[in-house]
Amino acid sequence: MRVRSNDCDHRFRPHSAYAWLTGLTGEDQAGHVLVLEPDGPRGHEAVLHLRPRSPRTDNGFYRDRRYGEFWVGRRADLAEAERMTGVRCVPLAELPPGRNAAVDGELATVLSELRLVKDPWEVGQLQLAVDHTTTGFEDVVRALPCALGKPRGERWIEGVFGLRARAEGNGTGYETIAASGAHACVLHWIRNDGPLDARELLLLDAGVETDTLYTADITRTLPLSGRFSPVQRQVYELVLAAQDAGIAALRPGAAFRDFHRAAMRVIAEGLAEWGVLKNAEGEFHRRYTLCSSGHMLGIDLHDCAQARAEAYLDGVLEEGQVLTVEPGLYLQPDDETLPRELRGIGVRIEDDLVITADGARLMSGALPRTPDGVEEWMGALMEG
């Protein structure tokens, strides 16, 4: 538990590796510990150290604001937890003292690498997260006519998406980015306190996290009027072409960095064609793209981040890995290297994909990606 103030705590979320290993994902896991004792060549003996119930017969039932069941609700007893997990459960008080901080980093690395390839159940959970996220994006588009009239329309959009995320899953998997106009050029715009202007774009980067804690991570950049202006469409089409090139580079055995390189090649060539760059050589396009074009996705938004470079960033893709492809162009409003009409436009298109035997399957294809597709989809939702 982390104190928010005085006797109020932040909502508890178990460590992702604990959730992954045990399947226990609820707020009632605060303070619980999984111990894996090396057990010869068979691997490990697992023991879960859990806080026993505090039923009505227990003093803590009334007096313990953090864990008393009068305050926070019933939790599983040890026998129930054993049935749920298949792991031996003992009282938390039996946890041996001490920990070896020297090996914490190694443990984190091993757990990150174990989580790189998702099994079919995990892919199913990620698909569920994507499907709920799709519904959340539809909710947002339906709410746009109302949000356009609000002094803090971005916040309204964050709230609409958050309602869906909380109603269907555990919540949002990360802070929603609802960035209108030039706010889209701020990569992690989560302040979301701006108004919406129908002449501008809205960059919405949001994901629903399931009750099992798997998150989607999707971005769409939408014209707030329902129609792209010619210059908005020009930028959008270049980012889309880059995303298409990135997606086409996904297959087992491809270097992880290949899809980023493919996407950036298209961006650099496009910027050269527009005359923004003299040519597509070198790294000058990075002024306008800033970040990398994707990452592993799972229980964590930036999943498996402690994996060794040779297993992830410098490694090759494997069937069953789930990742995002999310190129973007962020044309700062005060960037005098750009023609005036391009300044202040930010576009990212972000989709979630699972690596298959011979390529990749788009998990978020229910949300349109082409400009015509986006306009048609928005038109239907805003009229309906």
Query: Applying CB under 6 A, which residues contact ligand GLY?
Result: 174, 177, 205, 217, 295, 301, 326, 350
CB of 130 to ligand GLY, least distance (A): 14
Q: Which of 219, 204, 208 is closest to 129 using CA atoms? A: 208
CB of 293 to ligand GLY, least distance (A): 10
Which residue lies nearer to Mn ion by CB, 200 or 326?
A: 326
Number of residues that bind Mn ion (CB under 5 A): 5
Q: Tokens for 262?
A: 């493919």
**Binding status of residue 352 toward Mn ion by CB under 5 A:** no
Name which of ligand GLY, Mn ion, none residue 274 binds, using a CB cut-off of 5 to 8 Å depending on partner kind.
none
Residue type, 45: E
Q: Which of 192, 184, 205 is closest to 147 using CA atoms? A: 192
Name which of ligand GLY, Mn ion, none residue 127 binds, using a CB cut-off of 5 to 8 Å depending on partner kind.
none
**Binding status of residue 364 toward Mn ion by CB under 5 A:** no
Q: Which DSSP string do the residues of 274-326 spell out, in sequence order? A: HTSSS-S-TTTTHHHH-S-S--B-SSSSSTTTTS-GGGTTTSB--TT-EEEE-
Per CB under 5 A, contacts with Mn ion among 207-266 are 217
Place of tokens 């026998």: 79
Beta strands in 339-383, from DSSP E residues, in sequence order: 345-348, 351-355, 360-362
Q: Which of 172, 173, 137 is closest to 157 using CA atoms? A: 137
The residues, any chain, with a CB within 8 Å of residue 149's CB and separated by 6 or more, are none
Chain residue whose CB lies nearest Mn ion: 205
Name which of ligand GLY, Mn ion, none residue 69 binds, using a CB cut-off of 5 to 8 Å depending on partner kind.
none
Name which of Mn ion, ligand GLY, none residue 29 binds, using a CB cut-off of 5 to 8 Å depending on partner kind.
none
Residue type, 51: R
**Binding status of residue 205 toward Mn ion by CB under 5 A:** yes
Please tell me the distance from the alpha carbon of residue 107 to that of residue 332, in angstroms, as a whole number.
41
Binding Mn ion (rule: CB under 5 A), the pick from 25, 54, 125, 324 is 324
Which residue lies nearer to ligand GLY by CB, 118 or 348?
A: 348
Per CB under 5 A, contacts with Mn ion among 267-296 are none
Binding residues for Mn ion, rule: CB under 5 A, are: 205, 217, 324, 326, 350
